[in-house]
A and B are shown apart, each in its own frame.
Chain A
Amino acid sequence: MGFATASDALIAAAFWTGSAALALAALLIAGALFLRLRLAARREHEQRFSARWLPIFAACTEAIPDRLPALAPQDGALFLSLWVRALESVQGATRGRLVELAARTGADRLAVTLLASGDERKELIALAALGYLRLRSAEPLAAALIDLPFPLVSLAAGQMLLRLDASRHLPQVIERAAEREDWPVARIAAMLRECDRDAVAEALAQALAARLERASQAESEIVRLLQLARVANSALLRPAVCRLLERPAPAPVVAAALAALWHPEDAEHARRALGHPEWFVRVAAVRALDRVGGPEDRERLVALLSDSSWWVRYRTAQTLARLPGITRQALEKMLSESSDRFAADILAQVLSERDAR
């Protein structure tokens, strides 16, 4: 060919790149087959391991068996993950026996070793186990892990510290919960639900109060703390929440504070927010009245049925329908007397929804 030089180089490049890709493909497929074989072997080992240990865990409901199999260090993570699940499924004295079993098998020391393994998966398992083992010697390690920039490990460390000694570590965990946006609020809430409600409320109240003292309030931190306040619903939180609602605050903070209201004596805060310029604050105020309001709020709510926001009208109609003393006949009367089409439409919808339940 007349264009031999360029073409030859190209052909060679194409051929060798393609051949290398085919060789790589063969390696990858072989890798997949190897992984499948390894997986099968691992599953078989896990099944044998479970078959050996699960009956022992079950026996702990009565007593710890005298003779226990030896626990190999390489099976530490597997043992602990089974042990955590077993422990979470039982209560009372059985838990104590399972903790003793872990100590007798040396699993507690293996957990501490795993904590420094550098393998995130093993660290998570170790942290979960150490929380139940209440091993004081692991406390400094967990305290160091809570400030790592990795959310999974730091969260699990927080969980472990709470399980170890909630009253001592709650303030520290709550502070991190406010500051760390990489800690999902829902997950923190799940952690806090395991703790004493009043202790959680006290720690939250302190964290909120500290932020209210500061000249520059961290809006997002206050909102996160208020979201967590719903876990506690305690009288200890009322002063901080009410203080927030008594002073000018950004709309997201007001809405979050309204969502944390639960005591009927605080209903006045919700009533005042019914005229807030932001629709989502008005929705939060109406929902707060759903919890803390009473029959005396009827006229206020009826007026809001003509609000410009559909959501305000909808939540208002739902709240009205749930007010003590409001019967179906009363709602039908409101509907027939309503001169506002929007109010009538939303009342008709909520009446039908009420029938569906």
Chain B
Amino acid sequence: MILEQAIVVAQWVFFAYLVGLNTGFLLLNVSAFFAVRRYLTDRVLEDLLPIVSGMEPPVSVIVPAYNEENTIATSVRSMLQLEYPEFEIVVVNDGSRDGTLEALRREFALIPFPEAYRRRLPVRPVRGIYRSLRHANLRVIDKENGGKADALNAGINAARYPLVCAVDADSILERRSLRRVVAPFLHDPRMIATGGTVRVANGCVVRGGFLEEVALPRRLLPLFQVVEYLRAFLFGRAGWSPLNAVLIVSGAFGVFRREAVVAAGGYRTDTVGEDMELVVRLHRLHRLAGRPYRIAFVPEPICWTEAPESLRVLRAQRARWQRGLAESLTMNLALALHPSGGAPGWLAIPFAVLFEWLGPLVEVCGYGLLVAGFAVGLISVEAFAGFMILAVGLGVALSASALLLEEMSFHVYKRPRELAVLAIFAVLENLGYRQLLTLWRLEGLAHWAFGVRVRWGEMRRTASWQKAF
């Protein structure tokens, strides 16, 4: 009897969790709809009255690189062609064990540069600084290995300009990407950080490091991730932006006000989620000090990244992301429900704690209970089917709403066939893929709880887009 009652209670909890989670996302979806509409109207004015005022703040683009000898030259070459009035590129070779530095030396004719390097942020020792004979705005910092966060901090120390743009070495950009992501800084002097939508590059045609043609991947795993990225960026982030409660600016491509990052202490090196942690910390420090600030999200796709194509790599990535999330939230938990917390402290962080941090635990327990209860006869066929319809139905509805929002705004995938494929995958991803991700996220949660060590650079990319040259 007690077991049966416990099962009923657990079922109610699981039901309430699923409905709460999806209601939250539905509200975010509504917020994202207005945010995207506002952005598109902004674009009309941008087209009719372009800002070419000479007042665009110069940007230091920081590219941390670890064992990137195959892709680094192409990446840097493409970044050098960004359409922006004034910018510099600072590549930070984080003690690569391959020929990354040699590739850079060869390609860009590097010579030693006697820079008066400032250690405003503590970093691992710098072994040398180089400048390019071919491009006056390119420098390379060679330092001892300290992880991605340490490399970014070394780049920030060397940055000459008031805005710093953190870009993954394997990010694929568009020529106007930098202009688009910097635009919010021109609109609002309180802006301290902006990020943009990241999309899956697998299947796309890339030439000279720039995206030339958008297409869907041919393999199943990246296809699932296309739908997932749509959902995550279009309303997972665009929805929070109008509330000034964006908790993550992707490490793949984000712009920060340099002095705000330095004042906050730079990227933390003791977390694998350094990009999210920095943003949550910026919220915490500014909110608690009562300093006005804005962190905005640009809904337009401006950065493309290669998604994992193997289960092993995807598993490692998702476990790492979940761990990063847990670390970012626990390191800044003081903001949660704080009287000065505002939308980040009262909405975004509690939402992230309940549905993203602890989510995998609740979901695995819920699904586990359903399957186990059904197997031993404690849960009827009707109950099992009812809950599966609920879980899958809500998941499909969310993916479908992301698809609709994409179609209302950017419709990046031009061919009608692609839209049909995405619609099919919006359904299919709820029949196993999402549950698999939940398991891996739980693994990440366990890594965090038991302090398993993970370092950057463990994920290998195939850089298959380079074959399109």
Using a CB–CB distance below 8 Å, which chain A residues touch chain B? 1-3, 6-7, 10-15, 17-22, 24-26, 28-29, 31-33, 35-36, 39-40, 81, 84, 120-121, 124-125, 128, 152, 155-156, 159, 181, 184-187, 189-191, 193, 227, 230-231, 310, 313-314, 342, 345-346, 348-349, 351-353, 356-357
Contacts and interface: CB of A to CB of B under 8 A. Distances in A.
Contacts of B389: 14-15, 18-19, 22
B113 A124 contact: no
Nearest to B388: A18
Query: Which one of B45, B56, B114 has the greatest number of beta carbons of chain A within 10 Å?
Result: B45
Contacts of A314: 116
Nearest to A38: B407
Contacts of A357: 136
A154 to B, nearest CB: 11
Interface of chain B: mostly helix, strand, loop or mixed: helix
A22 B53 contact: no
B403 A28 contact: yes
B458 interface: no
Interface string B124-136: 0000000111001
Given A14-B387, A310-B116, 10 more contacts: A6-B8, A18-B386, A22-B392, A24-B397, A25-B396, A25-B427, A36-B419, A184-B187, A190-B50, A349-B115
Contacts of B53: 186-187, 189-190, 193, 231
Interface string B254-286: 000000000000000000000000000000000
Contacts of B22: 21
Nearest to A156: B45
B433 interface: no
B426 interface: yes
A155 B186 CA distance: 14
A185 B57 CA distance: 12
B408 A35 contact: yes
Contact of A349 (B49, B114, B188, B407): B114
Contacts of A230: 55
B81 interface: no
A7 B54 contact: no
A17 B21 CA distance: 13
Interface stretch (B11-19, B310-318, B447-455): B11-19
B140 interface: no
B4 A125 contact: no
Given A36-B416, A356-B131, A11 B386 contact: yes
B11 to A, nearest CB: 6
A1 B380 contact: yes
**Residues of A contacting B: mostly:** helix
Interface string B391-426: 111101101110110111001000010011001001
A3 B12 CA distance: 13
Nearest to B378: A1
8 contacts: A11-B382, A29-B404, A39-B407, A124-B48, A125-B44, A152-B45, A345-B114, A349-B114
B49 A17 contact: no
A357 B241 CA distance: 41
Contact of B404 (A28, A84, A125, A313): A28
B407 A18 contact: no
A355 to B, nearest CB: 9
B387 A352 contact: no
A352 B48 CA distance: 42
Given A11-B386, A25-B400, A356 B15 contact: no
A17 B394 contact: yes
B1 A84 contact: no
A32 B114 contact: no
B383 interface: yes
A189 B54 contact: yes
A32 B385 CA distance: 28
Which of A124, A159, A227 gathers most chain B CB within 10 Å?
A: A124
A240 to B, nearest CB: 20
Contacts of A227: 55
**Which of A7, A26, A40, A231 counts the most chain B CB atoms within 10 A?**
A7
A155 B407 contact: no
B426 A29 contact: yes
A29 B400 contact: yes
Contact of A28 (B45, B186, B400): B400
B52 interface: yes
Contacts of A310: 116, 118
B377 to A, nearest CB: 10
A356 B133 contact: yes
A21 B401 CA distance: 11
Contacts of A313: 116
A254 B49 CA distance: 31
Contacts of B416: 36, 40
A191 B396 contact: no
Interface in B189-235: 189
Nearest to A346: B116
A127 to B, nearest CB: 8
Given A17-B393, A28-B397, A10 B419 contact: no
